[in-house]
Amino acid sequence: MIYVVATLTLKPDSRDNLLAPARACIAETRKEDGCIAYDLLGSITDDDTMIFVERWETREALTAHSKQPHLITWRDASAPYLVSRTIEIVHPEKVETF
């Protein structure tokens, strides 16, 4: 099993614009083979920070996720509102950072 922590820094006052597209992406992602958990959390101290916390059976399942149409739709919808995105993939033996 691997974990993914994707931290999004948003442009000020843009959070509400991302909730509907995020819900749609989350609903479809949870149906994917290999997805154990997929949640989006909002910082209680910073309205401009959102964090995806994910669990996947394998790295291959995560790679397949990255090519899904609903994720591409999410990326397109969120792009105008992002300042930055950091992705950490936590394996039992290492951490990948993007």
pLDDT digits (tens, 9 = 90+) for 44-78: 999 999 999 999 999 999 999 999 999 999 999 99
The answer to whether residue 61 is domain-embedded is: yes
Q: Domain holding 70: CATH number?
A: 3.30.70.100
The answer to whether residue 91 is domain-embedded is: no
Domain range for 33 is: 2-85
User: Residue 36 corresponds to which tokens in the numbers above?
Assistant: 């154990």
Band (pLDDT 50/70/90 cuts) for residue 98 is confident
Structurally, the chain folds into a number of domains equal to 1
CA 84 – CA 2 distance, rounded (Å): 23
Distances (CA, A) of 54 to 47, 57, 61, 88: 21, 10, 12, 10
What is the four-CA torsion angle of 69, 74, 75, 78, rounded to 10 degrees?
Answer: 160
Q: Do β-strands 95-97 and 49-56 pair in parallel, antiparallel, or remain unpaired?
A: unpaired
- For the segment 73-85, the average pLDDT, to the nearest whole number, is 97
pLDDT of residue 25: 98
The answer to whether residue 95 is domain-embedded is: no
CA angle 65, 1, 97 (to 5 degrees): 65
The answer to whether residue 23 is domain-embedded is: yes
The answer to whether residue 94 is domain-embedded is: no
The answer to whether residue 98 is domain-embedded is: no
What does pTM read for this prediction? 0.91
The answer to whether residue 65 is domain-embedded is: yes
- By residue count, the chain amounts to 98
Handedness of CA 12, 17, 22, 23 (dihedral sign): positive
pLDDT at residue 20 greater than cutoff 90: yes
The answer to whether residue 96 is domain-embedded is: no
